[in-house]
Structure formats: structure tokens, C-alpha cells
A and B are shown apart, each in its own frame.
Chain A
Amino acid sequence: MTPSRVAFAAILAKDLRSELRTLQSLPAMALFAVTAFIIFRFGLDRTSLSGSLASGVLWATLLFAAVLGINRLFVAEREEGGFDAIRLAPIDRSVLFGAKAAALIVYLVALELVAVPIFAIFFLDSATALGPLVAVLLLADLGLAVVGTLISSMAVNSRARDLLVPLVLLPLVVPLMIAASGATEPLLALGGPGYHRFGTWLMVLGLYDLIFALVGWAVFDFLLED
């Protein structure tokens, strides 16, 4: 058996190299997020947002931008025979799940490096909340990545992939979005960041991540069967 860390690094490096070369996912995700912020800015006719409204605008935008990347996560594996190549190799197939989730986390972090500063410029009076917001973003990214990888691997074999991913993914990430919005709301409160129930929401995010990471790791092998 090939050591899992070697296979993990090979698949992750391959995915990142392909994305850097073709830019098939990241530009679309970033463009969607920026466009959504512009629409919110003029649609709400507000130059400043705070509390639950600011949190809702941020997470709704990041979630739907993430769906664009999740949709394409396994397209190369399906269309270019990557699934077969990985099934023929002496590796633990769950490594593919881990590597794809890691690639998705990289995409989401890259998206947020563009989208969150623009969100702050458009809607926030001060950038003091951005520091603690990093913890919420990272925990939510992990949750989106593990659930997104699982759903994407199931949907990729369907011709209705673009419909199936949001249809199955969105209900599953409702608890994640509630926790992420709940943790973000006090950080973006009027008058500066607060930490009311911040720790509780972070724990909910962490628990969600753990459960879905374990479920994904356990069932992914069966999803690759014919």
C-alpha cells in the first residue's frame, strides 16, 4: 500500500496545479461573491451593516459562492478517468476524500481572502471584527468542505449534477450556517465586536465538522464502488 500521506499530497498537488493552470473554479466563486455584495449594497440601500443582517449577507454570499466550487470538485475525476486511476492504485480510497476536502478548503480560504475584505469595505465601519472572524471562517470552511466533498462525489455521476448539489447540500448545511451566523452576529454588532455565546457557536461548528468528517471518511469508500 502507498502511504496515505504520499497519496494525499499527490492528489492535493494535482488538484491545485490544475486549478492554477485552468482557473475553472476560483474566479467564478470570487466573481459571484463580489457581484452579490454589490447587489446587496444597492438592493438594501445601506452603506453600513451590522449584527444579524451583516452576518446573513456574508454567509449567504459565501455559501452560494462555495456551491460553484463544490459543483466542479470531481468533474476532472469523472471526465478524465481519475476515479478509475485512483481505484486501480494501492491506496486507501478515503485519501481521495481527505485530499478533495483539503483542496476545497484551499479554494474557500482563497475566496474569503478576496471576498471578506471587500465585504468589510462595502459594509463595515471598522475592521476590528475580522481577527476573531477568522476562527469562524475556518471552522465553517471545514464543515462546508467535508459535506461538499461528500455530496459532490455522489452528484458527479448524475447528469443533473448542477441541480443535485444545491438540492442535497443546502439542507445539510443549515445547522452549519446557523452556527456560523450565530458566531458572526456578535462580532459584527453595532459599536464593536462582542462575544456573547461566541464560544458556544464555535463548539457547535467544531462538532458539526467532526461528525461529518467521520461520516465522510467512513462512507466514501462505498461511494466509489460501481
Chain B
Amino acid sequence: MPDLQEKAAPAEAERPAIAVSGLRRDYGDRAALDGVGFELAAGATMVVLGPNGAGKTTLLRILATLLRPSGGEVLVLGCSLPKEAWKLRGKIGYLGHEPLLYRDLSGRENLRFHARLHGIAAADAEARIEGLLVAAGMDRRGDDRVADLSAGMRQRLAICRCVLHEPELLLLDEPDSNLDAEGREAARELIGPGSGHTRVVVTHDPERFLPEADGVLRLGIGEVAAVS
């Protein structure tokens, strides 16, 4: 038995957090992604670059199990998509273009709702929510309706929502959008390279994110994706 455990541990550690090969996604006759492939080690950061319409958001939504791939192989945290998507739910923190927050509820109410969906016990949830709101600089505005908040404040709340359930993998689409300097600093603390997460970051700001990258995926329109 000890031998088996010793052999299993390195295999687990060596398994990439994400392994994608020949990924294709079609919208009708148009291929948004075609032949995309890359691997990302656990704890590493992949920055995804490309012009508008190159399929960056589509890639992120496929990795988040929100879109089904049209072809190719996608393995995320050991789960093959789309077949084993259900096993991944709760392990991914997704920060998209929309904050996924209800406008008529307050920030705290939204975070409590998400905590309950993720099965976090009420007492733990309250402590985590308060900690995140403080870290995001939103503790004083946490009881305001989301509809009454600025776009930057909504983004801060969305970041809190994204990490509330302590996911293993972060999928971040323009995480700094609408954030001021203080907000970017808070975001760096919660979802930055020091947060210990495996991360895929879609950005139009390579200068900001390339220093954090362990790998770069460049998507082009009608071009083969390049990994460096």
C-alpha cells in the first residue's frame, strides 16, 4: 500500500490542471475556436490574448462548463468535458463580463445566496463574506442594492462571489475591468498570482498580466492558436 500511495502522489501532482487538444466550437457555420490546444499545470497562470472575436470568452465559458465544445478534448481538473461537467461544479470560480449578481438584492444578500448554492454553512458563510467584503473594500457598501453601485463596485463584488466557495481554478475574463487603483490592488490580493489558484486570465492588457503568466495563449481570427 505505501508503494501505491507513493506512486499515486506524483502522478496526481504531474497531472495538468487543464489539458485541451483540438478544441473546436462552432456557432452555426462560423467556427469561434478551431484546433486550440494547451496544457496548464496546477497553480500556474495562463494568459489568453487575442483581438475581439478571437474566441477568448468562448474558451473561458467552455472551461467553465457553461458552453459545450463542438469537438476536441477538454480535460479540466481531471474531468472530461462535457461528459463530466457535473463533477467540476463548485470547483471553478468564474468571473465573466456579467457580475452574476441580482440587481435588486444587496451585495451581502447576493453573496449569501451564492454561499447557500455552494452549500457553505451559514456561520462559515457570514465569516467568509465579511472577510471578502473587507478585502475588496466593500464592507461599508455591502448592504446597498447592486443596482445602486458603480460598475467598479459591482466588479469588486463579483470578485468576492468568484472566490467565495474557495474554488481550485479561476477563470477570469478581464478581471480588472472598471476597477480603480485601489480595486486592482484588492483584486490582486484575492485573485492574483499570490492567491494560490490555478488561473486562466483573458485580457486586452498584456503589460499588466504578462509578468504574472506561466504561459501565454494567443488566439487569432482564422489563425491557429499559438502557445508560448
Interface residues of A (CB under 8 A from B): 1-3, 6-7, 9-11, 14, 17-18, 21-22, 76, 80-82, 84-91, 225-226
A81 interface neighbour in B64, B101, B104, B105, Cβ under 8 Å: B101
Stretch of B34-42, B71-79, B115-123, B216-224 that contacts chain A:
B115-123
Contact B89 A84 (CB under 8 A): no
Question: Does B53 count as interface, using CB distance less than 8 angstroms?
Answer: no
Of chain B, the residue at the smallest CB distance from A226 is B67
Q: Give the interface centre of B67, B105, B118 by most chain A CB atoms within 10 Å.
A: B118
Q: Give the interface centre of B102, B109, B114 by most chain A CB atoms within 10 Å.
A: B102
Contact A84 B113 (CB under 8 A): no
Q: Give the interface centre of B64, B65, B98 by most chain A CB atoms within 10 Å.
A: B98
* Known contacts A9-B116, A226-B67, A84 near B100 by CB under 8 Å: yes
Contact sample, A vs B, 24 pairs, CB 8 Å cutoff? A2-B118, A2-B119, A3-B119, A9-B116, A10-B117, A14-B102, A14-B109, A14-B113, A18-B105, A76-B103, A80-B98, A80-B103, A81-B96, A81-B100, A84-B66, A84-B94, A84-B100, A85-B161, A88-B89, A88-B92, A90-B89, A225-B68, A226-B67, A226-B68
Contacts of A1 in B (CB 8 A): 119
Contact A89 B117 (CB under 8 A): yes
* Known contacts A88-B89, A226-B66, A7 near B117 by CB under 8 Å: yes
Contact B104 A18 (CB under 8 A): yes
In the complex, the number of residue pairs spanning A and B with C-beta atoms less than 8 Å apart equals 79
Contacts of B105 in A (CB 8 A): 14, 17-18, 21
Of chain B, the residue at the smallest CB distance from A9 is B116
Contact A21 B68 (CB under 8 A): no
B69 to chain A, nearest CB (A): 10
* Known contacts A90-B118, A90-B119, A21 near B104 by CB under 8 Å: yes
Prevailing SS type, chain B contact patch: loop
B102 interface neighbour in A80, A87, A91, Cβ under 8 Å: A80
Question: Does B99 count as interface, using CB distance less than 8 angstroms?
Answer: yes
A84 interface neighbour in B98, B103, B116, Cβ under 8 Å: B98
Of chain A, the residue at the smallest CB distance from B25 is A226
Contacts of A82 in B (CB 8 A): 100, 102
B115 to chain A, nearest CB (A): 9
Question: Does B90 count as interface, using CB distance less than 8 angstroms?
Answer: yes
Contacts of A81 in B (CB 8 A): 96, 98-101
Q: Give the interface centre of A1, A2, A86 by most chain B CB atoms within 10 Å.
A: A2
1/0 per position for B47-82, CB-CB distance to A under 8 A?
A: 000000000000000001111100000000000000
Q: How far is the CA of A148 from the CA of B114 in the complex (A)?
A: 26
B1 to chain A, nearest CB (A): 30
Apart from A14-B102, A226-B66, what 5 extra A-B contacts exist at CB < 8 Å? A10-B113, A17-B105, A81-B96, A82-B100, A85-B161
List B119-164 residues whose CB lies under 8 Å from chain A: 119, 161
